[in-house]
Amino acid sequence: MIILEKKLMAMAKRMNVTFSLKSSIISHKEIFSETGLLPGITKRADQLAQLCLGYGLGATYEDVEGALLGVKVNFDEF
């Protein structure tokens, strides 16, 4: 998971992208953390993959206290 997080952060920094939630700017680490906004992004992508491809991304979600959205994402290992 750390590898994915680092690659996404590097890509966002290279593109000079900023993110905000409820009018406050959020760091790249918070966005792409497994307890940040990544669970929300992954849920939407999983729904789209289910619709278009007939199968999901292989992610599971668990409720976690203290997470930005209250959810943690876990990806299946290949």
Is it the case that residue 73 has pLDDT exceeding 90? Answer: yes
pLDDT band per the 50, 70, 90 thresholds, residue 76: confident
Query: How far is C-alpha 37 from the geometric centre of its chain's CA atoms?
Result: 5
> Which stretches does DSSP call E strand in 1-78?
19-21, 24-26, 59-63, 71-75
Strand-pair partners of 24: 21
Q: Position 35: which residue type?
A: T
Measured CA to CA, the distance from residue 73 to residue 16 in angstroms comes to 25
Which pLDDT band holds residue 8 (cuts at 50, 70, 90)?
A: very high
4 pLDDT more than 90? no
* pLDDT tens readout for residues 61-71: 999 999 989 99
Q: State both tokens at 58.
A: 């292989």
Where residue 1 falls among pLDDT bands split at 50, 70, 90? low
